[in-house]
Structure 1
């Protein structure tokens, strides 16, 4: 298994990034300014984008695992790598996600804790309704972890 920092042709991973963020225009807002990591284990299994938010904080903007590879630990392995990779550059990592129990619990299992919420984020920033696990996404829940 290799985790590679991709510095060119980041849009090649768009199809996978769209699994975690359904809006290409939203992805465009952070993809070029962020660092894109690809987890390869006999083929691409997962990708993520991390941005510098200033004041010692980085944000995990997008993490996506291929449908066939989900629930096999690839997301956790990628986050573990990020926490080590950024440990000397940042003090804290944050992540925003839909207010869905499975997503929030995933990040909590990776050591994140509740930080705050942005009400109506999904309804105000996306041109269509979005659902995850059958739940209409409305608020963005932010979690944080010291690194």
Structure 2
């Protein structure tokens, strides 16, 4: 059986190329707002970057916010996004992070992906994509207008 060897590791956010971040957030200006304050985690296969995520960590309050997660298109559907997200969440939980929040559109594959990995809908921000992006964002011919805020809670482990 052919086993793909992969590794998830933490990087500095400066080590991530802009092109991968633009896959998840179409405006460089928006990325630049959060990029500098984030931790970066990436998944590699045979030392080749496959995907990455940017997460702002509030260690004092045990919270984090996921701002960006993307996998290069040629690797979609192969489980790399799930591995990256699950291993990143596990590492954050090991560091004392009890909840992770993110924003996403109100429809599309991203919403299903996050819910599959334990995120739950917390609230809706009306007109977020209309108010914060210069160009409209469409998926399957439908314009994204509102943002869903999702939250993941680390499971409490009895010792």
Give me the CA root mean square deviation. Answer: 1.5
> Contact (CA 8 Å) 1:92, 1:144: kept in 2 or not?
yes
Asked if 1:78 corresponds to 2:84, the answer is yes
Asked whether the equivalents of residues 67 and 103 of structure 2 are also in contact (C-alpha less than 8 Å), the reply is yes
Contact 1:100 1:133 in 2 (8 A): no
2:32 to 28, 34, 40: 28
Q: Runs of 4+ in structure 1 displaced over 6 angstroms?
A: none
Relative to 1, partners in 2 of residues 1:8 and 1:50: Cα closer, same or farther, differing over 3 Å? closer
Superposition deviation, residue 8 in structure 1: 5.9
The reply on whether 1:6 has 2:16 as its aligned counterpart is: no
1:1-147 → structure 2 map (5 Å cutoff): 1-7=6-12, 9-10=14-15, 12-42=16-46, 43-53=48-58, 55-87=61-93, 88-147=95-154
- Count matched residues: 146
Query: Which structure's CA Rg is the greater one?
Result: 2
How far off is 1:139 after superposition?
0.7
TM-score (norm 1): 0.92
- Residues 136 and 143 in structure 2, CA contact (< 8 A), matched pair in contact too: yes
- TM-score between both structures, scaled by the size of structure 2: 0.86
Taking the aligned partners of 2:30 and 2:112, their CA distance within structure 1 comes to 24
**1:27 positional shift:** 0.5
Q: Secondary structure at the match of 2:52?
A: strand
Report the CA distance shift for 1:57/1:22 in structure 2 as closer, same or farther (over 3 A).
same
Query: CA offset at residue 57 of structure 1?
Result: 1.4
